Structure 1
Amino acid sequence: MAGESQWITGEEARKDVHQFRHTHDAILVGVNTVIKDNPSLTTRLESGGKNPVRVVLDNTLRTPLDSRVVNDKAAQTIIVTGAMAEPERVEQFTELGIEIIRAETEKIGIHDMLKKLGDRGITSVYVEGGAEVHGSFLKERAFQQVITYIAPKLLGGKNAPAAYGGTGIARLEDTVRLEIKDVKQIGQDIRIIAEPV
């Protein structure tokens, strides 16, 4: 995969993801996902469904002003940014109806951000990633459940996409042990739900 945006999982698994979106207060991605994919981050179920609040982690406010999450008004959007974000850029987003949460530090702290979301009544967050965001939540151990889809496709190479980015876990003894709670075949894909021990 040379950076092209395409589905790895099948249609049934993608519908399953929308069911999880429907059951959470918020869906969270990093700014790189917004820049690369321009997603709507809405719930698209045949029966309708609740659109979660869309949360974008963006240390320096690189979110494009013409992106769907800024303009489509399909759901509330919150951008969490670092303390060094330019005030003029913040104003551009607030004029478009986007709520900005500024971290007290240059980089966004996951636990601080989750507390600020909790203060706004957001108590369940569905983190869709990508790899750097997943890596941040893993490093801070700021998750209660991991939902993994495995597609019957093999990818390889040093540039293959990874589920978790960042610096990773240095020592085996520091890994997060998980207990598998559910394994289910969905279409041609496998969904595994696990929780920290």
Structure 2
Amino acid sequence: MDALTELNVLGLILSAVLLAMACVKADRVRAWRAGINPSAEELSDASFIAARVALVALAGVGIYLCVQGFRVSDDTTWDDTELTTAVQGATDALDGSSGFGEIYAGDNDTGWIDEYATKIEQEVVEHGGGDAPQYGVTATPAAPNTASEVHYTVTGADSAFCMQVTRTRSKDGDYEPPGIAGGEGTVTVPSYDFAVTTHEGGC
């Protein structure tokens, strides 16, 4: 339970206490005051009515603020259901996708791994839905990894997922940008295809 949720729960408890105080009978309060200070001036019925109205009003404001606080808390933290749906959506979107590598980098280049982690995080947030937070997802490469296969531990709530990403050279061939020539001919940009699968639990 995060700090904001704990604060909201405490607010509801305090509001319940205020409502309970408003329900205490006037005779019981008078008897209690008389026992403590017999010479104290007796409270009028109007005073009790005003006190009850004030206590109920304060409790109502407290409950309203707590409900709003729970909504804010829901918008800033992931729950397991939201994360599960978002990770599955991200997996479906990334599986079968393609992308370009660095022009002069070989197939054994691992520079793409950290960049792809950011891509995973963005995709998960995008598939989180309207009530899900817009941040708070992390995709961490889980060693050992290679230039062609990487495992990412995706977290954002109490649960975690292991996303396996396999990168292979595209069957459609590399991309040849127009108007760019190398020392020995045309410069090509390596193109890669990505196969993505996910299972529950960390890598």
Could you say which structure has the higher helix fraction? 2
TM-score normalised according to structure 1 size: 0.19
Greater percentage in strand: 1
Larger Rg: 2
- TM-score, scaled relative to structure 2: 0.19
